Structure formats: C-alpha cells, structure tokens
Amino acid sequence: MIAQKEAPSAGPSGEAPQETFVLNLGPQHPAGHGVLRVLMTMDGEWITKAEPVIGYIHRMHEKMGENRTWAKFLPNTSRIDYLSAMHYTHAFVGAVERGAGIEVPPRAEYVRVITSELNRIASHMVWWGALLSDLGGLTPFLYAFDDRELILDLFEGICGARLTYCYYRFGGLCNDVDDDFLRGARAFLKHMPPRLKLYRDLVTNNIILRKRLTGIGLISAEMCRKYGATGPVIRGSGVPYDVRKVEPYSVYPKFDFKIPVYPECDSMARYLVHMDEMEQSLRIIEQALDQIPAGPVMGKVPRVLRLPPGDYCYAVEAARGRFMVRIVSDGKDIPYRVKLRTPSFSNLSLYEEASRGMILTDALAMLGSLDLVIPDIDR
C-alpha cells in the first residue's frame, strides 16, 4: 500500500484542517484474493471515497463468443467465475437450448441440479475461508478446503476437471454419472451436517467474528435494486430474490427448499445467508438423489447447430447471484453477440456508495462479505 499526500485544505468553521490522502489498495497484495484495486480517499481512518479499479484480468470473453461456434464457446463460460463453473455453463447451455428448442432428458436435468448444488457448496466454502482469512483467521480456510476436496473429487470422477468443469452439453450432459458419484454424493450428505455444526460452533458463534460483522457494512434493499445486486447480498437485505424460486428453471420447482433471508442488511446477514444456503443445498441434493429417474442423459441435437434469428436469455442462480446470458443469433452457426451479465460486477458496483464513511478495516470486512470473484467482474 502506497500513501500519497494531497495538499491540506482548511476545514469549515475553524476546525482543524481537513487532510485527506489517497490509499491505493492492490491490485496485487498477498492478503487479497485476485487482482482487485481500490483507490481509497481517506480522512484518517475513515473512507471518504472508495473507487474500485477493475479490468486487470479482462479477457474479452464476449468477443471470443463471436468468432467460434456455439459449442466451442461453451468451455469459455466455465472460466468466468471459476468457483461456480457448473452454474455458468448451465446458463449458456440453457440459452442455446431455449433458442434451438432442444429438449433435455429428465435425468440430465436432475444431474445438473445435483452438480450445481454441490458446486454452490464448494463455492461458499471458498468464500467462507477467504472471508475469514481476510479477517485474520487462517485456520477455517484449511477446514473448508478439506471438505471442498470431497466435492472436487466427485466432479473429477464425472468430467475430469476439478475447477473449470465443462460437463453440461447442449441437450444434456457429456456422460452419465456413475455409481461411484452417486455413492460419493450420498456419503457427502452424511459427512457435511456435522461439519456445518463445527463451522457454526467454531466460527459463526465466535464473538470476534460477530463484532467484526454485525451492524457493519449496511446495504439497503433499495440500493440493491438500483445497482442490480443479487445473490446473498440482496437476500442479506431482506429481499427473498433467488432465481431458482422467482424465475424457476431446470427441475428446481420439484424440490422443497427455503430461501434464507436476513433483513439486517449488514455483513453478518450476508454471512448467515451463505451458511444457511449450504444446508438448503444439501436438502436439494438429497431430494434429487431420491427422485433421480433412469434414462438417457442426452437429447436430440442437430449436428450443425444453427439458432433461429433473434435474441434469447437464460438466467440462473449462481453462487454469487443472478447470472444471465443474452445471446443474439443471426441464423449462422456462430453467435452474433454473447452478453454475459455477471453477479460480482453488479455487486461490486455499489461498493463506492456503500463504503462511504466507513473505517478502513470494516470496509475490508464488507468487501469480503460481498463474495467477489475477480474474473467474474472483469470477464
């Protein structure tokens, strides 16, 4: 961090001179996770303006979408938010299936839900570990990664990848899940509840954590709406907005699950939403494993995929909120335009307004509670 002094200006009505300075946070810092830079104008410990500077790992995925076929762009979508790749590929295959009118077999949809929810838990675990290491507690990170490893092993077994999965295909899945996966998922359902209790006893009810997060980093529901913030951020502001319920897709309407909502609007509310969501994801996985039908996992897809001219949208609830793909086709086998609407981008855009007047350490805790993934912002 490099501080740079500005000329002091006289305060109003004869107070001590108001001196502000610019504090540069990032883009590379050992404690940061990703290349996010924030230019903070400070008045002592207090922030008068915090301006995120983004784009350091911008890769222009949307341009890549315009120079390759629909299928060749699919692996790109798993590299936008590398922590919830299943959701992102789901949105893109969903948009193309919608445009081309491809039917997906029920078994494939169930497997998509199971893998998506496992991915959500894995993603929340990384967030949990990263937030706590932001706050100075390094041990929980190791606990979370220990449990997350089980999910990554399951995914590796079905699609070979541990992070950037490209498991969904237009019309279904690249291959069916095997018995090992189903057994492993069942075992994970048994393994996880005691671990979540451990997380709760060890961390959630820890007085230091509570004092760092409670009542701090307020984001109102109105601010969420104006900035398009979604996911745990809007649900921590008392709005039960979840794409799985509000704009249902796949086979989510078949399952009984709750949307965790906390009306406190503070960092702790966002923390608790994340923790409760892991339990709800386990419930969904259990129901899906009970109900999963037999049958094929691939529908009928034309050899050369051409979408009728027009635009098609598909939104999913990714781990960080609403991810929407808007594709425009001009009838060729290559997309005319691919727009990726990512949740972290919108969730970070409110930071300048929300962090005004906060103490630096609190603002950093709040930044952690927003659950940012930088490639998701920069695309």
Partner 1 sequence: MKPTIEQLSAAFSDLVGTRTDTAPAAPAPVQAVDHKRKGYDFDATVASPQVVPAAEILDRLGFALDAVTGVDWIARQEMEIVYDFFHPETSLRVVVRTRVPRDNPELPTISSVFPGANWHERETHDFFGIRFLGHPNLAPLLLPEDADFHPLRKDYQP
> Which residue of 174, 313, 359, 360 would you call a contact of partner 1, by CB under 8 A?
313
Single out the residue of 63, 194, 290, 303 in contact with partner 1 (rule: CB under 8 A).
63
DSSP codes of every residue in 41-87: EEETTEEEEEEEE--TT---HHHHGGGS-HHHHHHHHTTTSTTSHHH
Q: Is 315 in the site for partner 1 (CB under 8 A)?
A: yes
Closer residue to partner 1 in complex, CB, 276/378: 378
Give the DSSP H/E element, type plus range, for residue 272.
helix 267-291
> Quick check: 214 binds partner 1 (CB under 8 A)?
no
Cβ closest to partner 1, residue 248 vs residue 302? 248
Of 30-38, 77-85, 314-322, 365-373, which segment contacts partner 1 by CB under 8 A? 314-322
In the sheet with 21-25, reading across from the earlier edge strand, the strands are: 2-5, 21-25, 37-43, 46-53
200 lines the binding site for partner 1 (CB under 8 A): no
Among 147, 266, 362, 378, binds partner 1 (CB under 8 A): 378
Q: Which is nearer to partner 1, 47 or 213 (CB)?
A: 47
- Cα–Cα nearest to 339, from 318, 323, 325: 325
Closest CA to 350 of 224, 221, 217: 224
Q: Which is nearer to partner 1, 56 or 141 (CB)?
A: 56
221 CA to centre of own chain: 19
Pairwise CA distance, residues 106 & 112, whole Å: 10
Strand partners, 245: none
Distance separating alpha carbons of residues 297 and 169, to the nearest angstrom? 10
Q: In which element (H, E) is residue 3 found? A: strand 2-5
CB 137 within 8 A of CB 203: yes
Task: Please tell me the count of residues contacting partner 1 according to CB under 8 A.
Answer: 43
Closest CA to 100 of 174, 169, 176, 173: 169
Tell me which residues in 317-336 interact with partner 1 (CB under 8 A).
322, 324, 326, 328, 336
Q: Does 311 bind partner 1 (CB under 8 A)?
A: yes
Facing residues of 41 across strands?
22, 49
Q: Is 58 in the site for partner 1 (CB under 8 A)?
A: yes
**Position 314 contacts partner 1 (CB under 8 A):** yes
Site membership for partner 1, residue 225 (CB under 8 A): yes
Residues contacting 160, CB < 8 A, separation 6+? none
Q: Which of 19, 62, 153, 176 binds partner 1 (CB under 8 A)?
A: 62
By CB under 8 A, residue 60 contacts partner 1? yes
| Residue 21 three-state SS | strand
Cα radius of gyration rounded to whole Å, the chain:
22
Q: Is 341 in the site for partner 1 (CB under 8 A)?
A: yes
Among 73, 143, 241, 252, binds partner 1 (CB under 8 A): 241
Give the residues across from 323 on adjacent strands. Answer: 316
Compute the distance between CA of residue 174 and CA of residue 187 in angstroms, rounded to an integer. Answer: 24
- Of 24-32, 71-79, 206-214, 227-235, which part binds partner 1 (CB under 8 A)? 227-235
| Residue among 109, 345, 354, 371 that touches partner 1 (CB under 8 A) | 345
Angle at the Cα of 248 from the Cα atoms of 159 and 332, rounded to 5 degrees: 65
CB of 337 to partner 1, least distance (A): 5
Shortest CB 64 distance to partner 1, Å: 11
CA distances in angstroms from 213 to 46, 268, 273, 274, 320, listed in the order given: 17, 5, 13, 14, 19
Please report how close the Cβ of residue 348 comes to partner 1 at its closest, in angstroms.
8
Contact mark string toward partner 1, 72..111, x via CB under 8 A:
-----------------------x--x-------------
> Residue written as tokens 């609007």?
265
350 part of the interface to partner 1, by CB under 8 A: yes
Taking the least distance from each CB to partner 1, the nearer of 58 and 200 is: 58
Q: Is 265 in the site for partner 1 (CB under 8 A)?
A: no
Task: Name the site residues for partner 1 (rule: CB under 8 A).
Answer: 54-55, 58, 60, 62-63, 66, 95, 98, 221, 224-229, 234, 239, 241, 246-248, 310-315, 322, 324, 326, 328, 336-337, 339, 341, 345-346, 349-350, 353, 378-379
